[in-house]
Every structure is written in structure tokens, then in C-alpha cells.
């Protein structure tokens, strides 16, 4: 039992399938880890121990009866407190809404439950998932397991901290501007943002938002290894097929050579903010270049130019949805500084302004895809500097908060705009034990290739 959390997610899944470990043993082990570690890390805002153990017992009985096993039979995981789990409170990280018990599962939760996963609870997020940290006004912040004084990133920060600390074997996140890749980088994990539409539940409401802008948010795995990420990705796409994992295990890693990789440190936010890469970011990028070169890929400086209107257009699109947020009368004052300020601006904005920004962002997205398409992969630093301290963002006015987020994460939101896949992978450990890494942006549908590249880097 003491060794369960030392297993990779894939090893644990296989042991559960072979009945070497029972689903109840796995859930009990991780719940004990949560009880021990969560008070100091703030990863979980809700722990559903009794529900989890009941589900684990049913999973064991199903296995004993010889029933067919789901891809994630008995696997413990958790969900961000932005997703509904039937019978469990959803808080959205805000004091402006009364926490409500969800009547049904969100589509992704339903998919992973069909795959056999067992939920242990809900993890910490920033208010409405808006920020690159996981701090709010209703519960303790998610702290970085590598240094508890520092941010775990966001908005999937509680999920990332739980995986990195061994409270979960892996975790599903979602990414609207970097919300999987940012906390993965901060906590030393692999984080994959798939192509828009790769995971069917992401596009049930279409591929554009209510203003016609590209839909930004997709679901993606946070994991310690590329194979673990592939297993969870497959379950999120189709619980009946291990397509990506089988390809990785079938030689996709060893056979991948000769890609043309364009290296870029240019950010579309540079037209508005000073984007400065810390020495640790340069070191991580250099390590990534060296590792990919050693695997037989061709690396060169990329010629990329970004529309100088990007910061304004992205901010308009990113905040437009706040105008329609269902905040009850009299509770606006309970919103945090960032959400309140940006909601006020969104509500004061003419609809035609949001419609025009949506159209312009689609044009910018097409231009990005064209430019990046000159390369098989575009390589950037993952983050511009090491994770900041808790309170680095939230102690500021809204504009300073937002600027600091853009300066820490200058390479992430553009990928959401493009709809393309990207992965962050650790490449460098600082003298203080912090993790830094690189981001690789692929062509549409290239999740397997990105996972193979991540494995090539991390398994050297």
C-alpha cells in the first residue's frame, strides 16, 4: 500500500486490471495522502471520501463478478471545482455565487466515470477559472509542492499540485489560455492542451463562442509521464479505445526523427507589455533544444510575426463572457478584484465591439496557423520565469494582475486562439529545486507526435 503512489498511472491502472491492487485499496491510499498533505497544499476544496469508497467497492465487486472493465477501472482522480459532479457542490472559486449541489455530471465527468474512474473530490481554482494562479476569496490557495510559498499555477493549479504531490496518479484539467500547461510547468508535470475538437465533450456547444470567436477552452491531461498523459487523453476522447497509448507503446517514440522545429521566444503580448525571459527560462529552452537535437530533429530560429493588436483583441474576447455571468442581484461586491473589474468593462462594452473583436481574433488565429505551419513543431519556453509567490497577482489592481499574468505566461493563450495542440514538458531544475520547461506547438491533430516528443525529452 505504501508504494501505490510511487507507481505511474499506467502501472496502477494495469495493477487494478490484474486485481493485484483493489480499487478500494487504491482509493484508501490516495485519500490518506490527501488527508496528510492537503492541509499544507490547498489542492482540494472538497473531499468525497465516502462516495469514493462506495464506488471503489462496487468496482471491486464488478471485477470479481467477471464484468467488462473500463479503461480507467478503479483509477482515483479528481475534478476542478469548475466541473459538475452529480451530488457534489460546485463552487467556481467565487463568493459571488452560493455553492450549489450539481444535479448531473458535466460531460467530461460522465465520460471518465464511464471509463471506470473514481472521483475523490474537487480541486482548487481561481475565481471562474480566469487566472494563471489558483487563489480565490473562499478557500486556501493551491500551493506548489516544490516550494509551498509559491503558486501552483492555474487555473488547474489544485489539480496539478495534487498530482505532483502524489495525492492523485494523474488529473484532468481544462485549458482556456494555458490552464493545463501553466500549472504543469509550475509543478514539474507534463501538460497537454489538445486540438480544439479532439475531445468530443469540449465542442458540444460548437467551435465558436456566442460572439463568433474561436472557442478557447479544451480539456487536457496533467501527468508525470507522457504515457500516463496518453492514457488519460484516450479516456477523455473515447473510453473504449487506447489509440494514443498503443501508438506510444508501439514504437512511436523511438521512430520519431527528423522533424523541422522552429524555435521562438517572441510573444504576441510584446506589443503591449515588456516580456522578459529569466535565466531559468533560457536554460530550460537550451536544455530542450539539446534534447531534441540529440533525438535527430532539425532545429532553427523561427521567423514569426504577431499582429500588434493581439493583446487588446484577446483581452476583449477573454472578458466578453463575464457580462453574461449569472451573478445574483446584490452579490456583485463579492466578486474578486479581477473578475469584478473585467465584468464591469464587459457589461459597458457595446455588443458590436465584442463581435468585431471575435472576427479579428479568427483572422489572427488563421495567421498564426499559417506561420507556425511552416514548421512541424514550434518550440518556445513554457513560462517566462519561475513560479511567483502566493499573492503576487491578487494583491494588485486588476490591470496589474492581468499584466503580470501575461508576463509570466506569454506563450500560452495564443495556442488556444489558434485551436492547435501544445504540450509543456519539464527540461530544467533550478538550484532551488523548481521546475522549468518548454512548450511545443504542433499541427492540428498531432497530439501523438507531441506526446512522443515529450517522452523523447523526459526519458533521456
SS3 assignment for 378-397: EEEECCCCCCCECCCCCCCC
Q: Locate cell 475534478: which residue?
A: 79
* CA 132 to chain centroid: 10
pLDDT digits (tens, 9 = 90+) for 430-457: 999 999 999 999 999 999 999 999 999 9
Can the peptide bond before residue 117 be classed as cis, meaning omega within 30 degrees of 0?
no
Kindly indicate the confidence band of residue 459, based on its pLDDT and cuts at 50, 70 and 90: confident
Contacts of 260 (CB under 8 A, 6+ apart): 297, 298, 300, 375, 376, 377
**pLDDT exceeds 90 at position 1:** no
Choose the catalytic residue: 132, 155, 267, 341. 155
Q: Is 139 a catalytic residue?
A: no
Helix (H, G, I), strand (E, B) or coil at 301: strand
Q: What's the mean pLDDT when you consider all of the chain? A: 97
What's the pLDDT at 361? 98
What's the pLDDT at 268? 98
What's the pLDDT at 2? 59
**pLDDT exceeds 70 at position 363:** yes
CATH code that applies to domain 4-458: 3.90.1300.10
**pLDDT exceeds 60 at position 313:** yes
Q: Is 80 a catalytic residue?
A: yes
Choose the catalytic residue: 5, 80, 219, 267. 80
Please state the domain extents for the chain: 4-458
What's the pLDDT at 79? 98
Choose the catalytic residue: 27, 179, 413, 435. 179
pTM: 0.98
Phi, psi of 455 (to 5 degrees): -65, -40
What's the pLDDT at 190? 98
CB contact at 8 A, 383 and 186 = yes
The DSSP symbol for 168 reads S
Strand 298-301 with 377-381, pairing: unpaired
**pLDDT exceeds 80 at position 188:** yes
pLDDT digits (tens, 9 = 90+) for 382-436: 999 999 999 999 999 999 999 999 999 999 999 999 999 999 999 999 999 999 9
What's the pLDDT at 321? 87
CB contact at 8 A, 129 and 82 = yes
Q: Is 179 a catalytic residue?
A: yes
CB contact at 8 A, 186 and 41 = no
Compute the C-alpha angle 287/290/292, nearest 5°.
110
Query: Which triple of cell numbers denotes residue 276?
Result: 522578459
Enumerate the β-bridge partners of residue 331.
none
CB contact at 8 A, 183 and 134 = yes
Rounded Cα distance between 264 and 2, Å, is: 44
Rounded Cα distance between 398 and 250, Å, is: 49
What's the pLDDT at 40? 98
Residue 34, CA distances (Å) to 37, 54, 120 in order:
5, 18, 9
Q: What is the mean pLDDT of residues 253-263?
A: 97
Compute the C-alpha angle 217/223/229, nearest 5°.
75
pLDDT digits (tens, 9 = 90+) for 76-112: 999 999 999 999 999 999 999 998 999 999 999 999 9
Phi, psi of 223 (to 5 degrees): -155, 165
Rounded Cα distance between 426 and 183, Å, is: 12
Rounded Cα distance between 360 and 365, Å, is: 9
pLDDT digits (tens, 9 = 90+) for 31-47: 999 999 999 999 999 99
What's the pLDDT at 330? 87
What's the pLDDT at 35? 98
CB contact at 8 A, 71 and 205 = no
Q: What is the mean pLDDT of residues 129-144?
A: 97
Rounded Cα distance between 78 and 55, Å, is: 14
Percent with pLDDT over 70 in the chain: 100
Query: Which triple of cell numbers denotes residue 307?
Result: 499582429
Amino acid at each position: 500500500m505504501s508504494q501505490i503512489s510511487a507507481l505511474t498511472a499506467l502501472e496502477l491502472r494495469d495493477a487494478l486490471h490484474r486485481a493485484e491492487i483493489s480499487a478500494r485499496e487504491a482509493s484508501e491510499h490516495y485519500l490518506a495522502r490527501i488527508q496528510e498533505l492537503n492541509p499544507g497544499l490547498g489542492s482540494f476544496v472538497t473531499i468525497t471520501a465516502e462516495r469514493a469508497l462506495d464506488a471503489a467497492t462496487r468496482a471491486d465487486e464488478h471485477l470479481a463478478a467477471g464484468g467488462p472493465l473500463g479503461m480507467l477501472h478503479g483509477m482515483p482522480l479528481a475534478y476542478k471545482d469548475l466541473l459538475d459532479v452529480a451530488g457534489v457542490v460546485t463552487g467556481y472559486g467565487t463568493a459571488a455565487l452560493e455553492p450549489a449541489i450539481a444535479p448531473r455530471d458535466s460531460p467530461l465527468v460522465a465520460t471518465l466515470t464511464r471509463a471506470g474512474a473514481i472521483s475523490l473530490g474537487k480541486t482548487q481554482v481561481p475565481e471562474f477559472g480566469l487566472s494563471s494562479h489558483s487563489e480565490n476569496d473562499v478557500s486556501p490557495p493551491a500551493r506548489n509542492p516544490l516550494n509551498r510559498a509559491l503558486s501552483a499555477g492555474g487555473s488547474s493549479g489544485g489539480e496539478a499540485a495534487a498530482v505532483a504531490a502524489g495525492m492523485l496518479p494523474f488529473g484532468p484539467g481544462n485549458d482556456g489560455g494555458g490552464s493545463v500547461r501553466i500549472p504543469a510547468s509550475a509543478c514539474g508535470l507534463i501538460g497537454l492542451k489538445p486540438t480544439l475538437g479532439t475531445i468530443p465533450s469540449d465542442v458540444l456547444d460548437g467551435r465558436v463562442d456566442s460572439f463568433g470567436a474561436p472557442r478557447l477552452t479544451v480539456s487536457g491531461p496533467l501527468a508525470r509521464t507522457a504515457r500516463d498523459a496518453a492514457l488519460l487523453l484516450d479516456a477523455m476522447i473515447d473510453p473504449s479505445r487506447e489509440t494514443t497509448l498503443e501508438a506510444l507503446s508501439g514504437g512511436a517514440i523511438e521512430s520519431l526523427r527528423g522533424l523541422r522545429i522552429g524555435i521562438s521566444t517572441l510573444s504576441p503580448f510584446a506589443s503591449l507589455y515588456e516580456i522578459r525571459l529569466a535565466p531559468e527560462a533560457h536554460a530550460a529552452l537550451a536544455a530542450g533544444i539539446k534534447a531534441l537535437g540529440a533525438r535527430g530533429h532539425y532545429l532553427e530560429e523561427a521567423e514569426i510575426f504577431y499582429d500588434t493588436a493581439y493583446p487588446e483583441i484577446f483581452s476583449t474576447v477573454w472578458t466578453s463572457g463575464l457580462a453574461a455571468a449569472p451573478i445574483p442581484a446584490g452579490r456583485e461586491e463579492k466578486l474578486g478584484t479581477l473578475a469584478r473589474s473585467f465584468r464591469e468593462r464587459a457589461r459597458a462594452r457595446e455588443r458590436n465591439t465584442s463581435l468585431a473583436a471575435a472576427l479579428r481574433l479568427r483572422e489572427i488565429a488563421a495567421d498564426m496557423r499559417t506561420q507556425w505551419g511552416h514548421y512541424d513543431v514550434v518550440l518556445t519556453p513554457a513560462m517566462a520565469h519561475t513560479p511567483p509567490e502566493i499573492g503576487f497577482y491578487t494583491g494588485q489592481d486588476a490591470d496589474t494582475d492581468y499584466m503580470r499574468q501575461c508576463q509570466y505566461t506569454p506563450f500560452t493563450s495564443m495556442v488556444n486562439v489558434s485551436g492547435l495542440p501544445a504540450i509543456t514538458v519539464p527540461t530544467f531544475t533550478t538550484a532551488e529545486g523548481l521546475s522549468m520547461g518548454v512548450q511545443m506547438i504542433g499541427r492540428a491533430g498531432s497530439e501523438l507526435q507531441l506526446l512522443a516528443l515529450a517522452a523523447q525529452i523526459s526519458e533521456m
